[in-house]
Amino acid sequence: MTIKVGSRLIGRDQPVFIVAEACDNHLGNMDVAREMALRAKLAGADAVKYQHHLPDEEMLPDIPMSDNFREPLYDFLKKCALTIDQHAELMAYCRSIGISYMCTPFSYAAASELAQTGDIEVFKIGSGELTDIPSLVKIAGLGKPMILSTGMCTLEEIDETVAALRAVGATFALMNCVSEYPPVYEDINLRVVQTLMDRYQELTIGHSDHTPDLYTCYAAVALGARIIEKHIILDKLQPGPDQSVSIDMHDLHALVDGIRKIERASGRAKRVHEREKQIRAWATRSVVSLRPIRASEVITDEMVWTKRPGIGIPSKRLGEVIGRTAACDIAGNTLIRWEQLR
């Protein structure tokens, strides 16, 4: 199952799709939101992702809070959430600079507003919404593919959502995720990427990362993740709701560069490459004489051994040399040739 975003295909046999998650680190400032898109483009990301919150559709005002927010989430979103008109501006700006716009709607109403712009290609669904099957089925009805994070969920809950979306013919992908901000490394369990790949073999599997560095993203790619999502911020010293799990643009560039190099290095064929052959010639071993050998002497294991370079009789054939008779005088500490033996 593949998903098309801009000119890119997302799939198991496609290059890794790298999403720079701006989240709400722009704090509602459109200049910052645009700058994040531009800097993500310059770093080589495939997409920049924002969030569309309609707080009254999304939550009750007095929901319990986790320790990654300094003020009630409802109050923060009332101040900083982007309007649909601002999202439309960002869509146009992203299109003008050549980076795909993505967005996470946190309610069906938010998804519907995004769909009505005509410019949304895929919905990114957060982990908190994975078990909200009624909303997901309605969002699927908008006709856009979905990429769903799986943090805070059991495999059985993922099974239920996958079954529901399959039943309505949705196109979707799954993201391994741990919803801690930031997570302890022992909780990440990166091989869940492979578990999801084995369990849902027709789906593309990615990894949404909340660590403050890049290592687990690289490892996820090596394990088969075809989508990587990473939170970004212009400056790690600036405030933001996801500041503690965000990387700056220098790190984003390193992330993209590292992923592309890992992709290039991920072949399966084992062969001797052209550039190895010149090294192979001197680095491998051949059979050599340890002392002068006279013509007609029977060669014993005390007369020969193996040394570099590897351009003579291969060292693995030492046993075929021992017991043969020298056809001519052989100087000491030299390569032995077959024509010197009988």
Give CA separation, 236 vs 45, 112, 213, 250, 300, in Å.
19, 33, 12, 11, 70
Degrees, nearest 5: CA angle 118-41-150:
65
147's CB contacts (< 8 A; 6+ apart) are 3, 10, 122, 123, 124, 125, 172, 173, 174, 175, 206, 227
pLDDT of residue 69: 64
H/E segment holding residue 41: helix 30-43
Query: In the 8-state DSSP scheme, what is residue 16?
Result: P
What is the C-alpha separation between 72 and 78, in angstroms, rounded? 10
Is pLDDT of 191 > 90? yes
Residues 120-178: tens digit of each pLDDT: 999 999 999 999 999 999 999 999 999 999 999 999 999 999 999 999 999 999 999 99
Count CB atoms within 10 A of the CB of residue 212: 16
pLDDT of residue 70: 73
pLDDT of residue 245: 87
Residues 38-93: tens digit of each pLDDT: 999 999 999 999 999 999 999 999 887 766 667 888 888 888 899 999 999 999 99
Q: At 107, is the pLDDT very low, low, confident or very high (cuts 50, 70, 90)?
A: very high
Q: At 242, is the pLDDT very low, low, confident or very high (cuts 50, 70, 90)?
A: confident
Average pLDDT over the chain reads: 96
Domains of the chain are 7-266 (3.20.20.70), 274-340 (3.90.1210.10)
Q: How far from chain centre, in Å, is Cα 42?
A: 19
Residues 261-316: tens digit of each pLDDT: 999 999 999 999 999 999 999 999 999 999 999 999 999 999 999 999 999 999 99
pLDDT of residue 66: 66
In the chain, how long is the greatest CA-to-CA distance? 100
- SS3 (DSSP) at 51: strand
